[in-house]
Amino acid sequence: MKNSSSEEPPTEIRLANDYMAFRPLWGEYGGLHDDNFVPADIDAQLKKWADTFEDYYDVESGWQNIEICQRQYAEGQRLAKVVQEHFGTGAVVSLDFWELRVSGKTLTLKDLEF
């Protein structure tokens, strides 16, 4: 594993946004907060994705439009692959994209297909 942290990474890593989360990566016991868990370039991409969620996802109405939701979902898929490549076969990385409300209407992942 290419983890530069002193701790072993969990075997299952979930990529998911959450309000005020330090980093959108989760293991069995909660958020993965070690500053050395992933390299700085990957960490910056993860934080940018999470910042978009924090800035544009409203707890009641969701995203302002489907285009923002689609972009965020596509970026989450890309980032899950990046994190998976970083850890290789030592961990299984999955995307938990739960933020499916757009202008007050709840969509499905199928609705986000281009």
| Domain assignment of residue 94, yes or no | yes
| Domain assignment of residue 92, yes or no | yes
| Domain assignment of residue 5, yes or no | no
In this predicted model, what pLDDT tens digit does every residue of 12-46 receive, in sequence order?
999 999 998 889 999 888 888 887 889 999 999 99
| Domain assignment of residue 31, yes or no | yes
Q: How many domains does the chain have?
A: 1
| Domain assignment of residue 88, yes or no | yes
Q: Mean pLDDT throughout 54-68? A: 96
| Domain assignment of residue 67, yes or no | yes
Q: Which residue has the tokens 């409203």?
A: 58
Range of the domain at 70: 12-112
Q: Is 63 helix (H, G, I), strand (E, B) or coil?
A: strand
Contact call for residues 100 and 70 (beta carbons, < 8 A): no
pTM of the model as a whole: 0.89
